[in-house]
Amino acid sequence: MDKNLKRMATMQRMQITGLELFYKKGYYGTSVDDILKELSLSKGAFYYHFESKEDFFIQIIQNLMARRVYSNLIEPIEGHDNPLTRITNCFDNALEMAVHNETDFGFILCNFMTEFNGKNETIMKHLSDIVSLWEVNLVTALQKGKFNGHLDRHVDCEAVATYLMSSYFGIRTLMVGASPSAKKYRFMAQLKQYFRSIEANPVNV
């Protein structure tokens, strides 16, 4: 295997394992020794790849978390005429994955934003950038849907995006408890009802 490809594969394995560890124990509850033990690495090997625990975590944000949010919540709604249908399907698929994930601790982005708020500005900036990208994508998709006549012309696209993001954060947190499938079903039913309330009314001829 090419050396660069081998190094990339090694880095990805380390970051996936590191993310799972941070997810379970929290960033501040995870020591470098915990990371070394989980990865079966020496300190020398770890610091060859990363400057610090913070650097390791930032690379996880950039290479894994940002990619997951993009593939699960952003890419599925890009470039489509009717965002309401696409967002419905996108949320339904993402929540269904959470239902079947036995180690799900809620929306990982929300978890870490809560943990780092007021504690680490550098990491918060990286996490906030992901949220901003998601928000911009939602607003853009909703504005396009409004322009194409799928949303009522009085709809505030920025407000709808804020509502969608906050409700998604919330349902992912609630689904950590009992009956995640039932919670998902009720959430999706209400989301569809909300979307019907902001759809453009057909013109009667």
Q: What CATH number has the domain bearing residue 184?
A: 1.10.357.10
In three-state secondary structure terms, 180 is: helix
199: its two tokens: 């759809």
| 116 part of a folded domain | yes
pTM for this predicted structure: 0.87
Each residue's pLDDT tens digit, 28-71: 999 999 999 998 888 998 998 899 999 999 999 998 899 989 99
In a domain, 156, yes or no: yes
Does residue 165 lie in a domain region? yes
Instruction: Work out how many domains the chain is built from and give that number.
Output: 1
Amino acid at 152: D
Please enumerate in sequence order all residues whose Cβ is within 8 A of that of 177, keeping only pairs 6 or more positions apart, or say none: 183
Q: Which domain holds residue 193?
A: 54-198
8 lies in some domain: no
- Count Cα neighbours of 4 within 13 Å in the Cβ-side half-sphere: 0
How large is the average pLDDT for residues 149-173? 95
The distance from CA 89 to its chain's CA centroid, rounded to whole angstroms, is: 16
Tally: H helices and E strands in the chain: 10, 0
